[in-house]
């Protein structure tokens, strides 16, 4: 594709060259014809003058006197003059009577010469040909010599064309030079005009490219030419409208993107062919995919989840919303998701694809499972003492009360079961209080030395430890202080120490310590008990979870102690952890943040 400038200039140049060549050719042709006609007229005039001079001599038959006259007049006019007979004076038709340059007897018969034939017919004859006598191109003009209506002789005048060519040569050069000058001037003018025409178009093209690239800051200059001005103004209006529309689209797109990115729910959109056209961060996180990698790919390639693939295909191929539950393995664990899909419709009502909203219901499902387990465990834990109380009460009512010794034994059992029931209720109330504190109710924290808290907890458990000959050691720097709720933290340590004493063999040792570890303070309770298998460690802090249920009940546990410890750590903004090795003991830790 050529530039507009070259199209205009090339066309203009072709027109100038053709016009100049045509004018030059016409001028040269006209000059040539003019000179030839002028020369022919001069020759005809000279021949007519000679005809007048020789008319009397030819009419009287004095041909001998004609030749000197012709030679004299030819030399005087610089013209070759020839008198040709027509056969009326005794000579033959076409025989040369006299010639200014050659002897008549040396010349051939001229009866076949076209100029002679024309003059013999009474007209002025003219011809251009090469002379066999002189060996050069000549112009011949012949006029008839008439007497009493009959042609008695023909007077012919001739001149070499070299004289005409010499005269025309200078004129040709002048015409060609003038044509070249005109052509150059026209070419230069065409160059200037073409650039003037092409410059606004080039500027508008550059402006249009800027607009296409999204740069609307510079407007096009409006040329003075009406047509170009109309185009420039139209482009400027178009750029302003495009700028406004792009700003609007960008603003709407950013708003939609902000809404999608801020949504907790995952959003996945596909076209009618099942290719992903949009996915937000929540969906990418829930489905374990990368946003940039899945856009443009089919749902089968983008998401390796058959359940979601079937749901998306069902939405695209159907006309009703689809709701389904699915499971995804993300981050090393199973996550429970709920997907709801519906069709996307274009402005004309056609199907534009489908959108699927994915909700993470893992926590809800786990809470439901925990609640179900909690209800079952509470029912089970409460049922045991209630059943015992009811059974022994019925036994007493059936007559055992009449046996004083059995009655006292049954009453002791009833009191123990009531104490156990009371302990379960107290632990449940404590857990409820701690959970309300974790849900936004403030728990008062005060600066306290951890050594005092650890010593108080150890003193509470000292009697049980002494009974089993278990040594409880406390290791805590006196300067180690933290913002804590001392009674709650003491209760957590009592629970841990009580468990350590319960499950440790006689004559062993329990170590209670507190240290600084980076941004945390760690309180640890280490025992030398039987240890806990690895598969139980992740669930130790759940309500009513027991590794050995029968042994735990026999030792008087409610199954809520470690759960209380976890919640106490959480209301302090901390966490719990445990390490255990079967046969070598366990270490329970409370991690508190440094404030």
Which among 91, 98, 86, 100 has a CA at the least distance from the CA of 158? Answer: 100
Length of the chain: 595
| Predicted pLDDT of residue 86 | 82
Let me know if the fold of 366-438 is the same as that of 446-593. Answer: no
| Predicted pLDDT of residue 433 | 62
Residue spans per domain, the chain:
4-166, 263-360, 366-438, 446-593
For 366-438, CATH gives: 1.10.287.130
Which among 327, 350, 348, 349 has a CA at the least distance from the CA of 339? Answer: 327
Q: Which residues contact 280 (CB under 8 A, 6 or more apart)?
A: 260, 261, 263, 266, 267, 291
Q: Which of 46-60, 242-256, 371-385 has the highest mean pLDDT?
A: 242-256
Q: Which of 29-33, 512-516, 549-553 has the highest mean pLDDT?
A: 512-516
| Predicted pLDDT of residue 555 | 47
Task: Write down the mean pLDDT value for the chain.
Answer: 78
- pLDDT at residue 552 is higher than 50: no
| Predicted pLDDT of residue 40 | 85
Min mean pLDDT across 114-128, 221-235, 405-419, 489-503 is at 405-419
* CATH topology for the 446-593 domain: Heat Shock Protein 90 (3.30.565)
**What distance in Å separates the CA atoms of residue 437 and residue 484, rounded to the nearest whole number?**
14
**pTM score above 0.75:** no
**What distance in Å separates the CA atoms of residue 53 and residue 388, rounded to the nearest whole number?**
178
| Predicted pLDDT of residue 346 | 76
Higher-pLDDT residue of 548, 300? 300
| Predicted pLDDT of residue 285 | 81
Averaged over 373-397, what is the pLDDT?
A: 66
Min mean pLDDT across 5-9, 122-126, 465-469, 588-592 is at 5-9
**What distance in Å separates the CA atoms of residue 284 and residue 306, rounded to the nearest whole number?**
16
| Predicted pLDDT of residue 379 | 60
Q: Which residues contact 122 (CB under 8 A, 6 or more apart)?
A: 144, 146, 151
Share of the chain above pLDDT 90, in %: 3
Min mean pLDDT across 23-32, 113-122, 526-535 is at 23-32
| Predicted pLDDT of residue 545 | 65
| Predicted pLDDT of residue 340 | 86
Averaged over 244-264, what is the pLDDT?
A: 81
Query: Which is it for strands 509-517 and 471-475: parallel, antiparallel or unpaired?
Result: parallel
- pLDDT at residue 525 is higher than 80: yes
- pLDDT at residue 551 is higher than 50: no
Ramachandran region, residue 519 (left: φ > 0; alpha: ψ -120 to 50; beta: rest): alpha
Dump pLDDT digits (tens) for 559-586.
667 777 887 888 788 888 988 888 888 8
* Residue 569, burial from CB neighbour count under 10 angstroms (0-12, 13-18, 19+): buried
| Predicted pLDDT of residue 547 | 62
**What distance in Å separates the CA atoms of residue 287 and residue 294, rounded to the nearest whole number?**
11
Averaged over 257-267, what is the pLDDT?
A: 79
* CATH topology for the 4-166 domain: Beta-Lactamase (3.30.450)
Q: For domain 263-360, give its CATH number from 3.20.170.30, 3.30.70.2740, 3.30.450.20, 3.30.70.260.
A: 3.30.450.20
Dump pLDDT digits (tens) for 153-212.
888 898 887 767 777 777 777 777 887 887 788 778 777 776 776 677 777 777 777 777
- pLDDT at residue 520 is higher than 60: yes
Confidence of residue 524 (pLDDT cuts 50, 70, 90): very high
Averaged over 535-552, what is the pLDDT?
A: 65
């Amino acid at each position: 594709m050529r530039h507009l400038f070259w199209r205009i200039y090339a066309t203009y140049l072709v027109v100038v060259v053709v016009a100049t060549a045509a004018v030059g050719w016409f001028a040269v042709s006209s000059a040539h014809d003019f000179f030839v006609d002028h020369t022919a007229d001069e020759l005809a005039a000279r021949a007519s003058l000679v005809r007048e001079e020789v008319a009397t001599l030819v009419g009287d038959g004095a041909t001998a006197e004609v030749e000197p006259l012709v030679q004299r007049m030819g030399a005087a006019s610089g013209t070759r003059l020839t008198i040709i007979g027509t056969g009326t004076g005794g000579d033959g038709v076409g025989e040369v009577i006299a010639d200014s340059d050659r002897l008549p007897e040396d010349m051939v018969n001229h009866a076949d010469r076209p100029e002679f034939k024309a003059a013999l017919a009474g007209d002025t004859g003219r011809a251009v040909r090469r002379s066999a006598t002189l060996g050069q191109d000549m112009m011949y003009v012949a006029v008839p010599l008439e007497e009493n209506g009959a042609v008695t002789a023909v007077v012919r005048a001739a001149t070499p064309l070299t004289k005409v060519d010499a005269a025309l040569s200078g004129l040709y050069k002048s015409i060609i030079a003038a044509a070249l000058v005109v052509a150059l001037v026209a070419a230069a003018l065409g160059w200037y005009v073409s650039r003037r025409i092409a410059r606004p178009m080039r500027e508008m093209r550059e402006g249009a490219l800027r607009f296409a690239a999204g740069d609307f800051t510079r407007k096009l200059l409006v040329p003075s030419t009406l047509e170009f001005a109309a185009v420039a103004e139209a482009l400027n209006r178009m750029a302003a409208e495009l700028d406004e529309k792009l700003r609007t689209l960008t603003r709407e797109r950013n708003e939609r993107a902000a809404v999608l990115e801020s949504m907790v729910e995952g959003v996945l959109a596909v076209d009618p062919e099942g290719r992903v056209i949009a996915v937000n961060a929540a969906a990418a996180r829930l489905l374990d995919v990368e946003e940039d990698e899945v856009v443009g790919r089919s749902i089968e390639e983008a998401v390796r989840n058959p359940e979601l693939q079937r749901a998306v295909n069902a939405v695209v191929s159907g006309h009703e919303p689809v709701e389904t539950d699915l499971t995804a393995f993300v981050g090393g664990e199973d996550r429970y998701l709920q997907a709801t899909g519906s069709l996307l419709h274009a402005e004309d009502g056609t199907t534009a694809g489908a959108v699927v909203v994915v909700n993470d219901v893992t926590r809800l499902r786990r809470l439901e499972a925990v609640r179900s387990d909690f209800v079952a465990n509470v029912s089970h834990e409460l049922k045991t003492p209630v059943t015992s109380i009811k059974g022994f009460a019925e036994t007493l009512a059936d007559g055992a009360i009449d046996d004083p010794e059995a009655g006292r034994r049954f009453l002791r059992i009833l009191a123990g079961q009531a104490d156990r029931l009371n302990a379960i209720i107290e632990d449940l109330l404590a857990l409820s209080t701690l959970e309300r504190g974790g849900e936004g109710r403030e728990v008062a924290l005060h600066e306290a030395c951890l050594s005092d808290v650890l010593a108080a907890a150890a003193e509470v458990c000292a009697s049980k430890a002494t009974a089993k000959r278990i040594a409880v050691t406390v290791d805590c720097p006196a300067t180690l202080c933290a913002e804590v709720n001392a009674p709650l933290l003491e209760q957590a340590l009592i629970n841990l120490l009580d468990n350590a004493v319960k499950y440790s063999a006689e004559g062993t040792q329990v170590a209670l310590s507190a240290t600084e570890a980076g941004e945390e303070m760690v309180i640890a309770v280490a025992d030398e008990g039987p240890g806990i298998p690895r598969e139980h460690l992740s669930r130790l802090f759940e309500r009513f979870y027991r590794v050995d249920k029968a042994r735990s009940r026999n030792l008087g546990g409610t199954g809520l102690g470690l759960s209380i410890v976890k919640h106490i750590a959480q209301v302090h903004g901390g966490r719990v952890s445990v390490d255990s090795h079967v046969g070598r003991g366990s270490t329970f830790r409370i991690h508190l943040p440094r404030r």
